[in-house]
Amino acid sequence: MTKLPLRPLGQTGISVSPITLGTVKWGRNQGLKFPAFELPDDRTLHALLDLAEEAGINLLDTAPAYGIAEERIGKLLADRAGGSGILVASKAGEEFADGASAFDFSAGHLRASVERSLRRLGREALDVAMIHSRQDDVDVIENTPALETLEALKREGKIRATGFSTMTVEGGLLAAERCDALMVPYNLGYQAHRAVIDRAFALGKGVIVKRGLFSGGTYTAADLPDLIRAVFAVPGATSLAVGTINPAHLRDNAGAVAAALA
């Protein structure tokens, strides 16, 4: 398999693969818009990481709201030779417990969340730390200390790049002005956030596209090339988040991304 080329994540100085491997299914199987599934065992996850290494995929996306995903990533990477070459983007602000999400954007909670993520992951710094926003992301940006707290943690060396997982176009445009990177919904059937990606690109900010494959929704193998080409036709799209736990699917995705970028 040809390795995917690394791409600059905006002006962060961090180079990432055009596929970001999402890990929500590594640690949580409740409250998700997917058919019921069992959490994968460690052997399956090591197979995914083997394939990611083969394909040149170097970025994992996780979050405290992804159940036990952070703890599993920390253990898996500690067990792997060369595991330190994997970059990790995590989030703060959302917690998932007892089947429901709760949000806290206070400075104390966000700082404690990032420090807990570092312990779980066995890292001295998160490569990217994003605010895991609720729907009213404009209010989160304007009326909470969320982004200021991330900036303080960056100055302290606990995170390398700040970010925001956007919900609305208005919130995305505000976040583009203040963060190093964004996570933005965009796909062949939903393109309202194109304005956010374009603005981030103009400002030299990195963009990880979420829901590019309809969040695991219904599509066929024949649809995959068109879905992926739609994402990478946008100049500001740095990387596509793919949340599979199926090595065959990841191989197909990597091949389709390589073809779209050729």
Cβ 209 vs Cβ 257: under 8 Å: no
How many helices (H) and strands (E) are present in the chain, helices listed first?
A: 10, 12
Q: Which two tokens stand for residue 189?
A: 């059937």
Catalytic residue, from 66, 186, 190, 219: name it: 66
Q: Strands 15-16 and 7-8: what pairing?
A: antiparallel
- Rounded to 5 degrees, φ, ψ at 260 are -65, -30
CA distance 177 to 199: 9
Which H or E run contains 91?
strand 87-92
DSSP assignments along 230-258, one per residue = HHHTSTT--EEEE----HHHHHHHHHHHH
Cβ 90 vs Cβ 70: under 8 Å: yes
190 has catalytic annotation: no
In order of 37, 138, 149, 174, 260, the CA distances from 66 in angstroms are 15, 23, 22, 26, 30
Active-site residue set = 66
